[in-house]
Every structure is written in C-alpha cells, then in structure tokens.
C-alpha cells in the first residue's frame, strides 16, 4: 500500500519516430485500484512496463512513496507483476514457479516455504505444488501467476490483461478473486485491460487511453455514465 506518482511520463522506443506514451500524468493514492483501458497499441503495457522498470522512461518521473524510481532496477522496486501469458517456467513445478522471485532475492528457505504454502492455500493450489504448469488448467495457471506475485507481500500489484486468456465464466470468478486479493493484501493495484466490464466492476478510477495519450481519468460512473 503506497502512493505511486506518474509525473508527465513519456516513452519513445529506440528507432520509433514518435512517442508511444505522451505526457502520462497520474497520481495514485494508497490502496487505489486503477484500471488502464483503451484499444490495442494505445500504450497501456508500455506505461505499466515503465512503472515496473522493464522499459526505460524517456521523459518524466516515476515516484513510489514520493521517491524517484526511474533508475532503480525492477527487482528493487517492491512491485509484483502478473502478465497476460502468465510467464510461468514450464520446466519448474508450481512451488518453484511461486518461489522463484524469493530465491532470486535470497529469502531464507523456511521463509520461502511458509510464504509459498500460505499463498497456495489461499488460492486453492496446495495439492498442485508438485505439478508442472502443463498439467494445470488455465485458471490454475493464472492462480500460480497470482501466487508468485503474492508471496513477496509487495505493496504494489501490476497486472497486464491477466484474465484475457481465460473463458468468460472463469474470468468472472477470477475478477472477484483479484478484487479480494487487492483488499486482503492491502495493495495499490494497477490493472490493464481492454474489457469495459472488468474496468467498471474493479476500478476505483479508470484511465482511458488512446494513441499514447490519456483521454480521461475518473471513477467508473464518471467514465461510463456520461451522456
């Protein structure tokens, strides 16, 4: 749970003639659930990746808890990220997938086990810890990706279309699970989707993007109920 400030962020990819993200200015409060919406190619992922540190910022400042983070390595950002394609390691078990980031950061073995077991239990994955991702359903794989993000107790959650590979019914139930995680873990969450229903049901505030620019920022009512 922490404030995140996007101070006039710009992104120009190497060799691109134009900015992919222009003047993205947003101030996110403790524990807000922010949703970025907009058509494919409008700059949602690029913005999320700048927050995560996976893309350099061309211009502007990213602040977390008031501190400028532009040059801080991804692993030192206290951010957990969930990707659209889950990004699970196929050769590792569910346990090892969930433990990966903790091992990378040199957590104690007993601590790792405790954290993974706790996340697995809350996601209904306890009996699958020894399996490989290929032996899981789509919904279970998505839960592993959530579990991997949960184990560090990071105060910031970034999610890039985490439900887009799931069928409609599962999407609805996973939506509720993610909303619950946001509450129980007390995180500040930034969630990317092109699904209006997801945005409407989950967001405290919605950021509507188009062609690299922010078109509108408001509550679901302000964004979708305007005449």
The residue ranges that bind ligand ADP (CB under 6 A) are 13, 16, 20, 38, 40-46
Least distance to ligand ADP from the beta carbon of 118, Å? 31
The nearest distance, CB 55 to ligand ADP, in angstroms, is 8
Q: How far is the CB of 107 from ligand ADP (least distance, A)?
A: 28
Q: Which is nearer to ligand ADP, 98 or 206 (CB)?
A: 206
The CA distance from 193 to 197, in Å, is 10
Closer by beta carbon to ligand ADP, 56 or else 76: 56
Length of the chain: 227
Nearer to ligand ADP, 83 or 107 (CB): 83
Rg (CA), the chain: 17
Instruction: Name beta bridge partners: 3.
Output: none
d(CA 99, CA 102): 5
CB of 60 to ligand ADP, least distance (A): 16
Cβ 91 to ligand ADP shortest distance, Å: 22
Residue with tokens 């954290």: 115
Q: In whole angstroms, what is the distance from residue 159 CA to residue 45 CA?
A: 9
* Residue among 40 and 226 whose Cβ is closer to ligand ADP: 40
Nearer to ligand ADP, 20 or 188 (CB): 20
Other CB atoms within a 10 A radius of the CB of residue 85 amount to 12
- Continuous H helices in the chain: 44-52, 94-104, 109-122, 138-150, 168-184, 196-202, 220-224
């Amino acid at each position: 749970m922490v404030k995140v400030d996007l101070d006039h962020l710009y992104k120009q990819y190497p060799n691109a003639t134009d900015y992919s993200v222009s003047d993205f200015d947003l101030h996110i409060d403790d524990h807000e659930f922010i949703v970025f919406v907009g058509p494919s190619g409008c700059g949602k992922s690029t913005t999320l990746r700048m927050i995560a540190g996976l893309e350099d910022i061309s211009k502007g400042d990213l602040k977390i808890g008031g501190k400028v983070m532009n040059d801080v390595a991804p692993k030192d950002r206290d951010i957990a990220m969930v990707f659209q394609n889950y990004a699970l390691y196929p050769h590792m078990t569910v346990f090892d997938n969930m433990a990966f980031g903790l091992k990378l950061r040199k957590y104690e073995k007993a601590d790792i086990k405790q954290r993974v077991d706790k996340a697995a239990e809350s996601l209904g994955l306890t009996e699958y810890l020894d399996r490989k991702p290929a032996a899981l359903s789509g919904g279970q794989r998505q839960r592993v990706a959530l579990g991997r993000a949960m184990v560090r107790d990071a105060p910031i959650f970034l999610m890039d279309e985490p439900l887009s590979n799931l069928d409609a019914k599962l999407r609805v139930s996973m939506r509720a699970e993610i909303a619950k995680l946001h509450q129980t873990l007390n995180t500040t969450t930034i969630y990317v989707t092109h699904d209006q229903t997801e945005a409407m049901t989950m967001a405290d505030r919605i950021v509507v993007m188009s062609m690299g620019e922010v078109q509108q920022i408001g509550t679901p009512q302000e964004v979708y109920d305007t005449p």
